[in-house]
Structure 1
Amino acid sequence: MWYSLKNFFNADYVNRFSFSIVYALLASVALNFFYEPGNIYASGATGIAQIISTLFQQFLQIDFPIAWVLLLINLPLFILGWFKISHRFTIFTGITVVFTSLFMELIPTEVLTTDPIICAIFGGVLTGAGIGYAFKNGLSSGGLDFITIYIRKKTGRDVGSLSIIFNGMIMFAAGVLFGWQYALYSALAIFVSGKVTDVVYTKQKKMQVMIITKYPDTVMKALQGHLRRGITIINEAQGAYTKEKETVLFTIVTRYEMPLLRQAMHESDNEAFVSIAENVQILGNFYEEEL
């Protein structure tokens, strides 16, 4: 179902629209200020667009701008996203890709340095920050994301290997077109980008929360009001020192949801004992928001 114009003016959609602009600016500056001057290839669809644009220039003497190539690469993937993933996800990803392509054209290429190591590091930082920021706010940079999300929805399997294959092909192309030292510089850029993305995007990091409280019903109501998470209850727990009967609650949240957890505990039981274990592994069902 098509979204009405009214829906795009609610707070969530306006925020997503602004987040799209932020990502587009970061990705465009990374490309035009660092990747292009340093002959560095980015990861994902942007890297593939760079390859195609370079091939047109070197072998056909045709200037095919990266921005237009990026847009054309994503067009068939928008169809996949619309019918197989989510209408909302596809719409906002489309907006993000259009803004990215537009800014890549409008922002001029500036040669701050031609040192490939500096270009790889700073370009990777900007790209990773943009990708992590987009993911954190429910957006995508398009391209390979459509394919990996579709495979994950269909199979439930980890699709990290697909990203490794695509990025490996990009590095190989960088070696063939520019020289093998630039394949290493591109690998450095992709590595830095991935690490920065992990720092910024915390939604996938799981945390186990143990709450010891005298008011379990109040706490559970607050938690379920702020978070969509299951809760395990252990009744009649006894403190070794006080000998008082209390209730132990267990739940799993993401790092991204920690502010909501704190707010729920502040509203329900400020005196509760809360223990948090970071980066736990989950086997079984764990609810993740729809895109």
Structure 2
Amino acid sequence: MDDVQRLMKRHQSIGKLSTAFLYAVLVSIAMNFFWSPGHIYSSGITGLAQLVNTLTIRNSPVVISTALGLFLLNVPLFVLAWRQISHQFTVYTVASVLLASIMIRVLNPVHLTTDPIICAIFGGAVNGFGTGMALKNGISTGGLDILGIVIRRRTGRSIGSINIFFNSFIIIAAGFAYGWPYAFYSALGLFVNARVMDMTYTRQQRMQVMIITGRPKTVIDSVQNHIRRGITIVHDAEGAYHHDNKTILFTVISRYEMNDLEEAMDEADPSAFVSISDTVKILGHFYEPKL
């Protein structure tokens, strides 16, 4: 049994490191093929690293490249993650950021276009997909991800306001550095990046599920075997058409767990009626897997 667990852990580690490498390739493509040629700033720490690079090129004899700045600016956040989140999470985060810094430095820029609108859209899309894929596979890309996890664990609040403030600063910096039209282009890139990341990373999207079934025990067992979620039971419901006895089950899942829910329902009660709707806000405990 121990050998099987070791093999599974090794397999997971290889999978996560492979994902970290793929993320590094995608962010370097976004940076070297689109953002840098189009004078577009990214979001978060990556955008701050670009700003540091711009300022040192113009005002300092020592130039700090975007690749180096990305790693150095993340170092305090690595320490925070080591102390507040977990050692394993920190190791994978360091790996993903280090690989991203290396690939940005190593991958030769290809100037496909300097059109700022095209660079903003495609750079944001490529980076958003890479970031979303990394998060989906349990890897942080560093930066504001770490702050978000720590703040949510301590206060239960999201990092939305900090993200807005930080990215507003990046957009204003783009305006001062390259002219105000580029501030709007950078804002467009941030929007595309966020939308693609949301489409790719679905763990944070909550969905309310209502199940109407005549086989409640079978459905509950099947769902909880597939997903670690609590279920609320409403007894003595009645179908209006045949007037047969039904039970209503309520639960909340993440969009990432949708396939598991569908498999559970196919196994337990394919004829059950299942209604799924997006949840805007949750008060109370909602289990999230440990990182």
Letter in 2 for 1:27: V
Q: 1:128-157: CA deviations, max 9, x gaps?
A: 111211222222210122122212211112
Structure 1 segments, 4+ long, off by >4 Å, are 6-9
Match of 1:10 in 2: 10
Q: How far apart are 1:280 and its partner, in Å? A: 4.5
Tell me the distance in 2 between the aligned counterparts of 1:265 and 1:125: 34
Match of 1:73 in 2: 73
Tell me the distance in 2 between the aligned counterparts of 1:256 and 1:220: 19
Q: What's the TM-score, normalizing by structure 1?
A: 0.93
Contact 1:116 1:185 (8 Å CA) reproduced: yes
Query: More deviation in 58-67 or 128-137?
Result: 58-67
1:37-186 matched pairs, under 5 angstroms: 37-186=37-186
Query: More deviation in 12-21 or 158-167?
Result: 12-21
Match of 1:211 in 2: 211
**Equivalences, count:** 286
SS of 2:276's equivalent in the other structure is strand
Tell me the distance in 2 between the aligned counterparts of 1:281 and 1:163: 19
Evaluate the alpha carbon distance shift between residue 38 and residue 256 of structure 1 in structure 2; reply closer, same or farther with a 3 A threshold: same
Tell me the distance in 2 between the aligned counterparts of 1:180 and 1:126: 24
Letter in 2 for 1:86: S
1:137-286 matched pairs, under 5 angstroms: 137-286=137-286
Evaluate the alpha carbon distance shift between residue 8 and residue 27 of structure 1 in structure 2; reply closer, same or farther with a 3 A threshold: farther
Q: How far apart are 1:126 and its partner, in Å? A: 0.8
Q: 1:4-34: CA deviations, max 9, x gaps?
A: xx57853332222221112111111000000
Contact 2:23 2:134 (8 Å CA) reproduced: yes
Identical-residue share of aligned pairs (%): 49
Evaluate the alpha carbon distance shift between residue 280 and residue 52 of structure 1 in structure 2; reply closer, same or farther with a 3 A threshold: closer
Evaluate the alpha carbon distance shift between residue 125 and residue 164 of structure 1 in structure 2; reply closer, same or farther with a 3 A threshold: same
Tell me the distance in 1 between the aligned counterparts of 2:119 and 2:217: 55
Once superposed, what is the RMSD of the aligned Cα atoms?
A: 1.6
Tell me the distance in 2 between the aligned counterparts of 1:148 and 1:56: 29
Contact 2:31 2:123 (8 Å CA) reproduced: yes
Contact 1:7 1:13 (8 Å CA) reproduced: no
Tell me the distance in 2 between the aligned counterparts of 1:157 and 1:7: 37
SS of 2:120's equivalent in the other structure is helix
Q: How far apart are 1:39 and its partner, in Å? A: 1.0
Tell me the distance in 2 between the aligned counterparts of 1:112 and 1:149: 36
Letter in 2 for 1:220: I
Structure 2 gaps, min length 5: 1-5
Contact 2:147 2:159 (8 Å CA) reproduced: no
Q: 1:170-219: CA deviations, max 9, x gaps?
A: 11221222222221211111111111112222222221212222221111
Tell me the distance in 1 between the aligned counterparts of 2:124 and 2:67: 19
Q: 1:196-245: CA deviations, max 9, x gaps?
A: 11222222222121222222111111111111111011122221222222
Match of 1:3 in 2: none
Q: 1:97-145: CA deviations, max 9, x gaps?
A: 0110111111011111111111111111111111211222222210122
SS of 1:27's equivalent in the other structure is helix
